Every structure is written in structure tokens, then in C-alpha cells.
Structure 1
């Protein structure tokens, strides 16, 4: 059980790694002192409306809801199977525990993604992000683009493309992580 909880913690950290990496490489939020001008705020509102950001976020969350259980299962399975200190019986028990816990974890994740306050909170910080990185003229150009058929197509495909890209990243990273986990566990047992 102790190993299972450690594995679950590791998988959760790995699953969050892409978000954490983006957060670490992203510039610090601009201070409130550089509040957007009324023109920029209006242009951002138009852009976000043209992008149908709320709908796009909801679609992205729905894609994540579908992808996360399988990603979590794959990562936990890799961690369990990589444990050199666990015999076949322990691995089988740990894998059974994963299958028992995964539906509960999935339901909790789904509840989080379905909370309307989540999108509201994100929108508060997204608007200044655009206002601080684009000029009013650029915001208007982006708005015009997202109102074109190609812009609409891009928006419609973005959630699925993001989910598929994330799955590709996980598929490519998982084998490397598996080897790394074996090294770390062997090193930890040697101490």
C-alpha cells in the first residue's frame, strides 16, 4: 500500500508535469499596475467571444476527462511494473488496486472539470494575458481571423488536437520514464 501511494503520487506529479513546465517557463504575471486600457479590454472581450473560449475550454476539459484515466492507468502500470523490489504477486495486487481506485479518481477529476467556477476563474486571468501580449490592432486581427471558416475550424479542432498531442507526449515519454523510475528505485534501495 505504501508503494502504491508513492506510485500514485509520482504519477500525479508526472501527469501535472506539462502544466508545471509551462508554468515554470512562462513569464511571471504582469502586475496589476499595468492594467489593460479600456480599448484593449474591449478588444480582448471581442477576441475571446470570437474564439468562443468558454466553449473551447469546456471541450478541452471533456477531452482531458476522456484521456486522463487511460494516461493515469498507463503511468501507474509502468511505475508498478518498474519496481524491482516487487514480486509478481505484489505487482498484481498493486495493479488491482489501481483498477479499484481509478474510477474514484476519474470521478473526482470529472467533477473538477465540470465546475463552472473553474472556467470563470480561468477567464479572469486569461483576459489580461492577451491584453498584455497583443496590441489592440493585433487583437482585432486575431478576432477577424477566428471569425473566418479556417479560424472556426482551428478552434473546433484545438481541443482534440491538444488531447492527441498530450497522448503522443505521454506515449513517447512513458518508456523513458519507466527506465528512469527503475534507476531511481534501484538507487533508493541501494542506500
Structure 2
């Protein structure tokens, strides 16, 4: 629930309740994301921690400082906040998350031909103003990084109450996954990453058409 420390004003804390304030059902709800609140950047930092071998790295807007003559006057080195999990555990999680995007996973549509990807879907019910949750309204997401073995890019796609032609398919993998795929493919080209994996022979699920996304 801590702030990330990014150089932007107005950042808020996340919401992670200590065990002493849990209810009798908290232990069954927290593992699937309920009773927890995070900003998109905080969620992205969690995925980046896995990609960085368990190291929590402070996000930054500025990478290099250039003076008025065009000379590089300073490079900002990454700030490692702490080692959250061991490199071995991070590697195991990355391999497990790779299965999410492979054949039989919940986000096959997030795949990028030629690259290994580790990622996770998110499908959250929208809280109702008076308590409980709104019917058929969700915040869907997909967060991932590539390549799995030597990550160079991490991203998060979030859609708030996306309007799909089939509400029964309003899930992170089917709605946010394809968007991640297109963004990640362009990022791989921009970063000049070489494809390193043969594409699996599979028939991806049909992409969900968005009628209106906010």
C-alpha cells in the first residue's frame, strides 16, 4: 500500500488492511483481489518486481538529464528499494505466469509471436456506491512482461467498465489481453528485440469487440 515515490504530484496510497482488521472471510477474499486497492502504477511495480528478479525498483519519469547544449549531464541510475522475494522465487513465478499466455491459459490473446511472455489477467467487480457490487460491471486488466527469460518491457492495460458486444466475455484475458499484445509487439520493435521463440500452433479465441471503452 505504500506510495511508489514517482516524481509526480498527487499520488495516493494503496489499501492493504493489516491482518488484525481482517473479517472472518478476508482470508478467502484477499487472494482473489477483493478487500485490496492499488493504483495502476503500484500494480505495475508488483509485476516489474517479478521481472526484476524480486527487486522492487522505484519508478522514474526521467532517465537522462541533458543540458542546453545537448550534452548528457547525468544519468539517473535505478533505485532499488528492497529485495521483496528471492531471485529463485521470482523465476518460478515468471515461469508460472508464462502459462497464462500459452495454449490453454486465460490470456492466449495477449501473446506476441516470437516472444515468451509472462502475465496475469485481472477481472474486478465494480463496487456499488451503497455497498456491494454493480451487476455486470467490471474493471478488467492484463499486466505482463517480455521476454520471460530476460525482461526488457513491462506493461499494464486497464479498462474500466468496457462495453463489449457479449458481456459474458468481459474478462481481462479477452478484452485487455489483445490490447497488451499490440502494445507489446510495437514495444519489441521499438526496443529492437529479436524474436527467439517459435510460435505455437494454436487457434486463438476470437477477439472481443468493444462498443465503447472508458
TM-score, normalised to structure 2, is: 0.25
Q: Which has the higher helix share?
A: 1
Structure of greater relative contact order (alpha carbons < 8 Å, 6+ residues apart): 1
More strand by share: 2
Q: Report the TM-score when normalising by structure 1.
A: 0.27
